[in-house]
Each structure stands twice: as C-alpha cells, then as structure tokens.
Amino acid sequence: MSIITISEAAQKRVRELLAADNNPNQFLRVGVRPGGCSGFTYGMGTDENMREGDQVVEYEGFKVVVDEESFKYIKGLEIDFKESMLGGGFTMENPNASATCGCGVSFRTATNEGQAEKCDD
C-alpha cells in the first residue's frame, strides 16, 4: 500500500499550484490535525521545509510529504480532484476512516476519535 495515491486530475492540479509558487523547492504537504465535526481534519498546502520523520512520495514533477504523526491516520489515502459547476476541489478517500462527516473533510478512525468540533453549517 502506498502512503498516498493521487489521481491524474489531482496531480495536474498540484503541478499547477506548485508552478504558481515559482519555487523549485516547494512540495505538497498533506497531514491531519485534531478538529472538524468528526474528530480529525485534513490539511494540505505547499511547503519547502522537510522535518525529521517525514514520509515522502515522489510523483512526476513534485513530491508529497506526510509528517510522522499524520502518517498513521492517512496511510493509503487516495486524493482526487473533481470539477463541478460551482468550481472544483480535492477529495479524500481514507481507508483508515471509520466515520466521516457530510462535507468529507473530517474523519475519525476505529482507534482514535480525535477532537470533534461543532460544524459550521
């Protein structure tokens, strides 16, 4: 099982985001933090600073980095990018999630509930 799998559509969008930063040292950092209505919420953004314990997956033209703590919650994560009439966005399919919220950005696992917060409906 790969650390993270990224669809072709998501890879294209990540390349566009990294190119816009115009910094060849940038990579995509993916992680989780306590919060969201289910207990954990996903985080994704550009970074250029590697940390001890980071897990790295290389794709054509970019790297994806996951911190050591997040790794146990998102190993096997599948990221896609979907276009819709209202725009587009990244979607997450996490094999470790035992429950997810309706908006799809928070989750909990069978062994850790994280720290749920009130939803902003």
Residues for the chain: how many in total? 121
Under CATH, which number does the domain 4-109 receive?
A: 2.60.300.12
Q: Compute the distance between CA of residue 11 and CA of residue 35 in angstroms, rounded to an integer.
A: 27
Secondary structure of residue 70 in the 3-state scheme:
helix
Task: Give the CA radius of gyration of the chain.
Answer: 14
Write down the pLDDT at residue 121. 47
Domain boundaries, the chain: 4-109
Write down the pLDDT at residue 34. 83
- Name the β-bridge partners of 30: 44, 66
* 121 residues of the chain, pLDDT tens digit each: 578 999 999 999 999 999 998 999 999 999 998 877 777 888 999 999 999 999 999 999 999 999 999 998 899 999 999 987 777 899 889 888 876 766 556 666 666 656 666 555 4
pTM: 0.81
Nearest 10 degrees: CA dihedral of 29, 35, 36, 42? 10
pLDDT tens readout for residues 59-72? 999 999 999 999 98
The pair phi, psi for residue 57, each rounded to 5°, is: -120, 130
